Structure 1
Amino acid sequence: MALSSDDYLNELLGRYQANFDITKDFSLGDRIYPAYAWFFSFGEKYVLKKEAQLWAIRAYEHVLFIKTDSVSKELLQEIRQTIEDHVEPELVRRGEKYPEKDHMCTYMTFVIISDRTPDKELQREIKRFKYDKGYLFNFRGHSEGKLALACLDSETVVTNYSGKELKELLTDIFKTQRGTKEEKVS
């Protein structure tokens, strides 16, 4: 029996909660997402005392989770539109012309949990999905879109190039859940 989308999402959020702030039933634009995870990192280097700062960087990640029966071209278009209309202007730039000083990078990640595996053409579209925007010739950093799909029926994971490091985490949830079921049967 395939893993349910609720079980998969709960296991995934359990892994994210160590480093991310998580909000359930998050509203953005016209949609309510089952969960949203947010991460912030600040690094700086200074000489002798903090007033003599050499550099500082701020890095962010915003993760929106989607549960669906199946993935469609319309869903991928909706994700791109959400990045352009809401995530990038509202979460990355916070309504300003550019992100704040010392902004280095913001990852805008969408994790889709689908009951059914899409056809090969749609999987290719996911792999080709790309969003990258620089600010002030990248002096104020850039934002980048990551896309990952976990297919519950086939226990496969498809990501775009930017999201390739998510594949191991998303695949491991299937392995862990399979191991847990096998232990209960024994």
Structure 2
Amino acid sequence: MDKLIYLNHLAKVFSNNFHLEINKSLMNKRIDIYGVWNMKFGRNFISRNKIIDEYECNEHCLVVSEDRVDEKFLDDFINYLKKCTLSLVNPHKNHKTTYITGILVTKNINDEDIMRKIKRFNYTKNYRMSFYGWSILRLIAVDLNNGKIYHNKISIDIVDSLSFDKINII
């Protein structure tokens, strides 16, 4: 599958819920598609002005395309996502959770170690013993030639929207 067709598909899927920026530079790295989603929830009592509690959930999605992904590139990308928890997340008393989703779009992944590393990846950062919420990293790699998607366990709920079956090629 062509990389541009798949990136256009991702942009179309994400545009329903995310504010998108294409070809953005974020922390000295080129991001093909950057999406941000933010939602505030709250409960009130008797009237709308009497707020009992409120909390905020965020998601940042970073799509990077690379022709060849080796173990060093994957390690650099994972470290970059971990640094994003420091720069993109604003923990405060109403912050509950922030998901940072890193999607690697590549032509081919043949290395079993890379597939295993993606599958076993797990990272959560707590802020002030979780009183100010937490961040969770999702890691997904899309293999365009083989038509496969590799992901960590926390990413299982969004992998369906990334599948190749949903792409309309005109």
Pairwise same-fold verdict (TM > 0.5) = yes
| Cα drift, residue 30 of structure 1 | 2.0
| Cα drift, residue 160 of structure 1 | 0.5
* Structure 2 contact 81–102 (Cα < 8 Å) conserved: no
Look up the match of 2:86: 89
Q: Distance in 2 between matches of 1:123 and 1:167?
A: 15
Structure 2: runs of 5 or more not aligned: none
| Cα drift, residue 100 of structure 1 | 2.2
Look up the match of 1:106: 98
* Structure 1 contact 70–118 (Cα < 8 Å) conserved: no
Aligned residues: 170
* Structure 2 contact 96–133 (Cα < 8 Å) conserved: yes
Aligned-residue Cα RMSD (Å) equals 1.5
Q: 2:166 aligns with which of 144, 165, 176?
A: 176
Question: How high is the sequence identity, in percent, across the aligned residues?
Answer: 24
* Structure 1 counterpart of 2:59, one-letter code: E
* Structure 2 contact 93–131 (Cα < 8 Å) conserved: no
Looking at CA atoms only, which structure, 1 or 2, has the larger radius of gyration?
Answer: 1
Q: Distance in 1 between matches of 2:154 and 2:68?
A: 22
Alignment of 1:1-186 (within 5 A): 3-85=1-83, 87-93=84-90, 99-171=91-163, 174-177=164-167, 180=168
Greater share of strand residues, 1 or 2?
A: 2
Structure 1: runs of 5 or more not aligned: 94-98
Q: TM-score, normalised by structure 1?
A: 0.86
* Structure 1 contact 148–166 (Cα < 8 Å) conserved: no
Q: Which moved more, 1:23-32 or 1:149-158?
A: 23-32
Task: Please give the per-residue CA displacement for 1:113-170, whole angstroms capped at 9, x wherever unaligned.
Answer: 1111232221000011111011111111100000111111110111001111122111
| Cα drift, residue 52 of structure 1 | 2.2
Q: TM-score, normalised by structure 2?
A: 0.93
* Structure 2 contact 106–142 (Cα < 8 Å) conserved: yes
Q: Distance in 2 between matches of 1:118 and 1:45?
A: 49
* Structure 1 contact 159–166 (Cα < 8 Å) conserved: no
